[in-house]
Chains A and B, each alone.
Chain A
């Protein structure tokens, strides 16, 4: 049972507001470093799209360009404009250096909805790679554009696209903190919680309907779970002392949390309704930042049992603990890659904090970022991009780096410090 020993009146001590939908300044995402090889693609504006205020093909193009893996080829000046696969003269496009071209159309259905058709053609092999039709209301154009970008990305790179996912993050503006969820391109930020006391450590449930987070509104760290569909929140952990570092198990049935009720900081498993807290390991000192493996059989965590913070792996079946990091004296914040083959983490070297990636098989470590104070990595569900928090000119920003270190993005919000990103799951 949870005992709420120190419940402080919300009305007096801190103003915590559970928000529904509210307009916010969006996250602006810019590419500041390109990948090596890019795929040249031409995106021909769809027939009929100009009559709608939602720029369908512009969104597709922006998605692909932002991934750092595509280079846009000029699509103007081909007459007549191709609309279907059979209209495409591949010679027009290979002459411009495009390896692929998308064409399509937008046709009203008479009931207010429209049919969006699009085709992806490999101009080198002169074959159609994809053809899709979507019947949607015009206000679903952004979502439709992201779906098309996902198809193009998947057909041409072999990896799943993440353009239809969402990201959570925390902003700080003066004394005010806010947890927000936006589309992966930074649009449509929705306020989830606002508070006059710090919020941190958002963690998405595997089905994307709930977020666990830590709040200091009670003058101690307490973990809450909030539903994104109903807006309601419930307490997950408010035991004596500090409660923090929530991480959902991949089956959604449990969370790992760090509790100090036993003295020190230790990792417990707990049910989403806050019952059944069970300590995982018998160890002295600090264990925290639990991160479940994609198959749920193990978890990475940070521990100072070796003298300073290092990353270890606990296997649930056998109960064995294995140390994973050996370079330097400060390695923290482990996050599994979705394919389970390695993990991203933060290491301190020469006073700077940077992201690094380690492969389980080779145990090799590659440093991915070059900032001064990089922290809080979150891996995209396709494993290709890593969001993290950083600092530029004394201001908190988010940044993203590709898993090979080459593509770099910067994400900023006007007039706010941004921190604590969490990439949401793939939508089914």
Chain B
């Protein structure tokens, strides 16, 4: 690695390498893809969750080489649905989403090495930092429900993006409703 002096102007890549050197020794996860948020809510909810006992540890595999038969990515499976939506100012979980939450909890229960992050989000109104906390509440609420349904604490990390990562950049109630959400992201996605 070339020695980098901060005061010289160029390239970003050396800064990145230098930073990586600076932080060496920290545990590294497999590189994550850019876009954290997955799917949307229009996938048909008909079929039973494919939370199978096939032992697919889809959670730990980067990319989708086990795509076939992986219920997490099967559009016919409820597990490919990854978002729960909330009312304004609220972190209460609406009844509509209980089957979805239960399905993911059962998947985690049946795949003990699977790991998930729940990302909490808010609409654009109000304090950025209070929204980080409110998004955290939304993520924690779903995690709590999943723990009751059979998932274990180690399998779920909860984080918040506050209002920083909206799915819809609009400034009306439709956009706001789409942004008040939790997204479920499995490790390796």
Contacts and interface: CB of A to CB of B under 8 A. Distances in A.
A280 interface: no
B8 interface: yes
Interface string B16-29: 11011011001111
Contact of B32 (A13, A16, A18, A289): A13
A216 B164 contact: yes
Given A22-B9, A263-B140, A7 B29 contact: yes
Interface residues of B, number: 47
A7 B89 CA distance: 31
A12 B9 contact: no
B118 to A, nearest CB: 10
B31 to A, nearest CB: 4
A331 to B, nearest CB: 10
Interface residues of A, number: 58
Contacts of A11: 13, 16-17, 20
A260 interface: yes
Nearest to A309: B130
A219 B127 contact: no
A7 B140 contact: no
Interface stretch (B64-72, B93-101, B131-139): B131-139
Nearest to A302: B130
Contacts of B27: 4-5, 7
B87 interface: no
B158 interface: yes
Per CB-CB distance, the 3 closest pairs between chain A and chain B, nearest first, are A231-B6, A12-B31, A220-B159
Interface of B: 6-9, 12-13, 15-17, 19-20, 22-23, 26-29, 31-32, 34, 36, 89, 117, 119, 124-130, 132-137, 140, 157-162, 164-165, 171
Interface of A: 4-13, 15-18, 20-22, 194, 198, 200-201, 214, 216, 219-221, 230-232, 235, 240-242, 244-245, 258, 260, 263-265, 285-286, 288-289, 302, 308-309, 330, 332-333, 346, 348, 353, 373, 375-376, 394, 420
Given A219-B119, A288-B129, A302-B130, 20 more contacts: A6-B157, A7-B28, A11-B20, A13-B32, A15-B12, A16-B15, A17-B16, A18-B6, A200-B128, A216-B164, A219-B36, A232-B6, A232-B22, A260-B136, A260-B160, A288-B133, A302-B129, A346-B127, A348-B125, A348-B126
